[in-house]
A and B are shown apart, each in its own frame.
Chain A
Amino acid sequence: MTEPTTKQESGLALTLPRPQLAKAPTGIQGLDEITGGGLPKGRPTLVCGSAGCGKTLLAMEFLVRGALEFDEPGVFMAFEETAKDLTQNVASLGFDLDGLIANNKLVLDFVYIERSEIEETGEYDLEGLFIRLGQSIDSIGAKRVVLDTIESLFAGLPNPLILRAELRRLFRWLKEKGVTAVITGERGEETLTRQGLEEYVSDCVIVLDHRVSDQSSSRRLRVVKYRGSTHGTNEYPFLIDEDGISVLPVTSLGLQHDVTTNRIPTGIARLDAMLGGKGFFRGSSVLVSGTAGTGKSSISAHFVDAACRRGERALYFAFEESPSQIIRNMRSIGIDLEQWVDSGMLRFQATRPAFAGLEMQLTMIHKATVNFNPQVVVVDPLNGFIIGSNVTEVKSMLTRLADFLKTRKISSMFTQLISSGVTQGADDMAVSSMIDSWLLLRDIEIGGERNRGLYIIKSRGMAHSNQVRECLLTDRGVELCEVYVGAGGVLTGSARLAQEAQELALKLTRKQEIERRQVELESKRRALDAQITALRAEFDVREAEAMKIIEQEQAQATQLVQERVEMGVSRSADL
């Protein structure tokens, strides 16, 4: 019996969380990550910022998401906008306030104050407001409350001394009620809010900012203070679009991303060969830089096309051309991107870089990437981001982008336009450090024509060719061929073709010479053979004659012996 108890105890000890502040998740994308789980539960939070920076929307989204996702009904007390205006304003974000109100998930209470209609005649308090709010909270069992913007009271009611005391009482009362409250406040001259609300609401303060630099605006959010909890302290860009607010905790997340040894082809066979025969690493970042018209987009198109052929999704951020223009242009070199768009494998996201600030661009890229969940991302080109002298910002943004893509194991290709005067290495964006593979496309001007040369400047973690290749744009896509390197220097294009023709001719001549010599040798051998045959014939004749003579001589000798024997017989000699 004791054993299960111990087990239970140890299990409890393991699951017991570190004592931490209870938090009410906002449901707003990214904000919960920055605040480590949401706003302080049961306490008031101050959201301040200048006009039009999204305070009301943030507060409203906090309530709506609370009601929909976390089953925490909410009360919205508006001091500036009527319930009807509010409902209409947030309907475009897909928030159905009327529906929520009908389901007792939300109470919208518009507090109307008109200074000219009010005469102050002595001491007063805000018990009316308390009763009203309390009634709304109790009617639906609200867990969340928004007061937007409570500072309007200062404009509407006389005697700020009483108001301050009453506000202090209000925030205390809200805490006692145990509701998570969001109080919005207009940004003041030197203080966070005009009336110094930060003195009263001190648990959590969030500042929203909307600033314009170089004519493009960006929204930012910063958690200035969060009592009893750690939080991200940076300024985070945020976006207001058709889905509400999304905050991007995009920072350099450290270098913790896992890597794979998987390789993905570039879509150009010869380029794969240059990269150790297999292409780029999956999840690596590739930079294609080059002067104008050297085929950067074409290489990107190959990369995208190859990814789609493998059945992967690709996301193409175009900052210079419209999707249809890219599709048309790539068709001319034999790459049909339209089929991938139609089948949903490829998505184009085309905007002018000047459309929004850097942070917003990053935010949009981030959001689109999260939504589409691609395996391959192309950003074409990076230069669009550089407006004026914001190179440092661009660099930090790109680092964050590259890090973000890497952590999601997305292979990325960036193109970069460089001016023809710039030599390799002295690159203006200093992006090299965050790039794994770097291809450089350069103009090579020889013999009155311009040709494209492709170099691999670096490619981390793989053997790669150190050779310059000539990059040809044919109707079958990008083709790489070897440049002529010889006594005449590096030759490309027509000069290379001429040189090749010349070499061919030379080769032919040599071949003919060899053939001629071979024929000559043959005939010599044949002549020699003939001579040998003639000599042999002569010898044969002589030999035959000699044999004949020898035979005759022998015959004569035999005859002589015979004759002697016969003579002896005839002389009857006794032998």
Chain B
Amino acid sequence: MKTKLTPLAETYLLRLYVAGQTPKCMTAFVNLKKICEEHLAGKYQIEVVDLLENPTLASGDQILAIPTLVRRLPEPVRKIIGDLSNTERVLIGLDLKRKG
């Protein structure tokens, strides 16, 4: 589809699911922020969902593991679990880097 090729489609819509301000969640957020600034400067949007505040949101994105980063856009939806400390794998997960 043509719209996919427009720059708008290249905006990364990211949602980070956390459960309270645990060390793991804090680490994940810091790591995410850093990676985005390095690789996606200006074309990303981060939304943090705290499941302790909104428990009903857990089933919508099929969240089990915490923290989970969901790449909602561009499609397809990808899930990255863990505290995002392994930058290499985060980049693979976000399709910013090929495997191998």
Contact = CB atoms under 8 A, between A and B. Distances in A.
Given A128-B17, A132-B55, A122 B63 contact: no
Interface string B84-100: 11100110110000000
Interface in B46-100: 51-52, 55-56, 58-59, 62-68, 76-86, 89-90, 92-93
A190 interface: no
A176 interface: no
Counting chain B CB atoms within 10 Å of each CB, the highest count among A118, A119, A132, A153 belongs to A119
Interface centre among A109, A112, A117, A128 (most CB of B within 10 A): A128
Contacts of B27: 122
Interface in A373-412: none
Contacts of A127: 19, 22, 51, 65-66
A127 B77 CA distance: 21
Contact of A157 (B22, B51, B65): B65
A153 B62 CA distance: 13
Contact of A122 (B55, B58, B78, B83): B83
Contacts of A126: 64-66
Contacts of A129: 64-65
Interface SS of chain A: helix, strand, loop or mixed?
mixed
A123 interface: yes
B15 interface: no
Interface residues of B, number: 35
A202 B55 CA distance: 30
A104 B19 CA distance: 26
A308 B68 CA distance: 71
Contact of B79 (A119, A132, A134): A119
Contact of A121 (B51, B59, B64, B82): B82
A119 B78 CA distance: 8
A119 B64 contact: no
Contacts of B24: 123-125
A558 interface: no
B90 A119 contact: yes
B62 A111 contact: yes
Nearest to B94: A119
Interface in A419-476: none
Given A119-B93, A125-B24, 10 more contacts: A121-B89, A121-B90, A122-B28, A124-B24, A124-B66, A124-B83, A126-B64, A132-B59, A157-B64, A157-B65
19 contacts: A109-B59, A113-B62, A117-B78, A118-B80, A118-B81, A119-B79, A119-B92, A119-B93, A120-B86, A121-B80, A122-B28, A122-B83, A122-B86, A124-B67, A126-B65, A127-B66, A128-B58, A134-B55, A135-B58
Interface of A: 109, 111-113, 117-129, 131-132, 134-135, 153, 157
